[in-house]
Amino acid sequence: MIHLDEFVDGVSVHLGNADASNVPRLAIVFAARQALKRFCDESFAYVVNAFDPLAGTNQVLSPNDFHLSVTDRRCEIAIPDDTHIIKVWRLSDECCDAQGLSDSIHSYPNVINLPADDSKIDNVVVSLSINQTTESCPDFLYQRYYDGLLSGTIAYLQLMPNREWSEPNMAQVHMAAFDETIRKAKSHISNGFLKGRPSTSIPATFG
């Protein structure tokens, strides 16, 4: 995970006025958190896999893979602190859906209520979002979407009222770039879960 204060240098370079150096670190972290949360909520790009360690598979976990446990019709995933499930894409290699699995209801923060007692759970894929207490960004989101997240961070800073660094007019440019990043990320994720495609054609991770 990348700490949100890694956006400080980018803000200092790109904010574009003499008061950029006066922006407190806490304000930048706050703005980066708002940008990251909106990005996750709207793009669904924070995609992770979960596997049952008791299922007898030899799955090697990557940084985007987590263990799960199943009790009756309750599937609990050991997701990172300060995150929560916002969409369930897949429970098994045999079943996926571009709109998410409507029969699988997820409960805050990390529980999937399974549609049936015999639901097959062998390769769960979900999208996560962050909470307002998080201090970090997933590595793969930071590396892949840094420019867009930085634009969002700058836009949120410039929209803060009555601050030395406020520039509402300039914020529109950065917000437009951020919106486009969200649009492209959402398209990329949705295209990975086209209903009816063979499971071999559906990427297991997006890192």
Report H helices in the chain: 8-14, 25-43, 139-158, 168-191
Q: Are 88 and 68 in contact, with CB atoms under 8 Å apart? A: no
Distance CA 130, CA 36 (A): 8
Distance CA 145, CA 164 (A): 28
Q: Which residues neighbour 41 within 8 Å (Cβ) at sequence distance 6 or greater?
A: 86, 129
Q: Which two tokens stand for residue 57?
A: 């598979």
Distance CA 126, CA 159 (A): 32
Distance CA 31, CA 11 (A): 10
Predicted local distance difference test score (pLDDT) of residue 201:
34
pLDDT surpassing 50 at residue 125: yes
Q: What is this structure's pTM?
A: 0.84
pLDDT digits (tens, 9 = 90+) for 132-176: 999 999 999 999 999 999 999 999 999 999 998 888 998 999 999
Q: Look at residues 7, 3, 197 and name the one whose alpha carbon lies nearest to residue 98.
A: 197
Q: Are 28 and 8 in contact, with CB atoms under 8 Å apart? A: yes
The lowest-confidence range among 105-114, 117-126, 129-138 is 117-126
